[in-house]
């Protein structure tokens, strides 16, 4: 069984765990308030939020990185690489953007291949060799082709919904007369958002592994992607971006974690360890 099959199964199981967690806290909330209507209200709000972020994912991400559209005349080599990869995948040519960011990084976004956008930073254009850049672009295109924007939007909606319901429980859920258990509700309200965030991050990491594998197959050059990841690992560490709400909303789309991380923060990382990603790519190449 390939890594891809394992990752698909992992994603399904993680969503199942998140759904079970939501049902559990929904049951606690219903027992404490005597009504299940609140969970449906939160679900509706979560659905609207998910639809908005999914539909506008390209605009939100590009704005966060201050990216500008670039023409083929300005970046002929970049266009040639992406057009060749998109043609090999039998997909339309995406819109191209460059972000004036010194950190070497890249991301692709858009709700489907017809509305896709690929963005590279000025830093990555300076750092990578053409062969490595082509492999990175293959990775990013596969995020779009695998519908990872939809997957991450749904995961974020689940996590947000669980957090909102848990917070609501703190203030309105503990009614002893209705059979609610205030201590259980308080514990759930504190722990459920943490669990939801961990699951959301785990889903993001599985999608990165798939994009590595599928992108390497699309470019036909897993060692080039491995080499690029080595350079990006040191490049992003040397120039970490400052965390903000806007940047955190786009960080999971990037090929390398843009923030400084280590220790316990790795639990909440949207990206798998670089060394593990590199090792998988080298195994693909027969190393």
* Residue 277 clears pLDDT 90, i.e. is over it: yes
Question: What does the pLDDT average to over 133-162?
Answer: 86
* Residue 204 clears pLDDT 60, i.e. is over it: yes
Rounded Cα–Cα distance for residues 118 and 171 (Å): 44
Better pLDDT: 244 or 188 = 244
Domain regions of the chain by residue span: 3-284
Rounded Cα–Cα distance for residues 119 and 137 (Å): 9
pLDDT-derived band at 176 (thresholds 50, 70, 90) equals very low
Better pLDDT: 92 or 29 = 92
Better pLDDT: 189 or 228 = 228
- Which has the minimum average pLDDT: 16-25, 85-94, 144-153? 16-25
pLDDT of residue 253: 87
Catalytic residue among 129, 132, 140, 276: 140
Average pLDDT, the chain: 83
| Known catalytic residue at 140 | yes
Better pLDDT: 231 or 191 = 231
Helix (H), strand (E), coil (C) string for 173-225: CCCHHHCCCHHHHHHHHHHHHHHHHHHHHHHHHHHHHHHHHHHHHHHCCHHHH
Q: Report yes or no: 80 and 137 within 8 Å, Cβ to Cβ.
A: no
Rounded Cα–Cα distance for residues 20 and 74 (Å): 50
- For residue 107, what is the enclosing H or E element? strand 106-109
Q: Where are the beta strands (DSSP E) in the chain?
A: 68-69, 95-99, 106-109, 117-121
pLDDT of residue 5: 45
pTM: 0.80
């Amino acid at each position: 069984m390939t890594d891809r099959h394992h990752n698909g199964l992992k994603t399904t199981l993680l969503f199942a765990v998140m759904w079970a967690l939501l049902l559990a806290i929904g049951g606690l909330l219903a027992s404490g308030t005597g009504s299940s209507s609140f969970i449906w209200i939160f679900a509706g709000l979560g659905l609207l939020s998910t639809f908005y972020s999914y539909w506008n994912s390209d605009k939100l991400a590009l704005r966060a990185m201050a990216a500008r559209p670039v023409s083929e005349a300005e970046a002929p080599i970049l266009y040639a690489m992406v057009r060749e990869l998109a043609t090999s995948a039998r997909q339309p040519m995406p819109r191209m953007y460059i972000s004036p960011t010194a950190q070497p990084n890249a991301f692709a976004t858009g709700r489907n291949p017809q509305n896709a956008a690929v963005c590279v930073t000025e830093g990555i254009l300076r750092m990578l060799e053409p062969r490595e850049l082509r492999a990175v672009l293959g990775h990013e295109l596969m995020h779009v082709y695998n519908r990872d924007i939809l997957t991450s939007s749904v995961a974020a909606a689940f996590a947000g919904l669980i957090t909102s319901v848990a917070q609501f429980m703190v203030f309105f859920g503990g009614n002893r007369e209705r059979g609610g258990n205030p201590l259980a509700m308080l514990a759930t309200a504190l722990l459920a958002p943490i669990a939801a965030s961990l699951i959301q991050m785990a889903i993001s990491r599985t999608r990165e592994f798939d994009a590595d594998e599928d992108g390497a197959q699309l470019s036909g050059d897993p060692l080039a992607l491995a080499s690029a990841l080595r350079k990006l690992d040191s490049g992003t560490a040397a120039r970490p971006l400052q965390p903000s709400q806007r940047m955190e909303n786009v960080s999971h789309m990037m090929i390398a974690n843009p923030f400084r991380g280590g220790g316990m923060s790795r639990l909440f990382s949207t990206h798998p360890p670089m060394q593990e990603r590199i090792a998988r790519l080298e195994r693909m190449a027969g190393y």
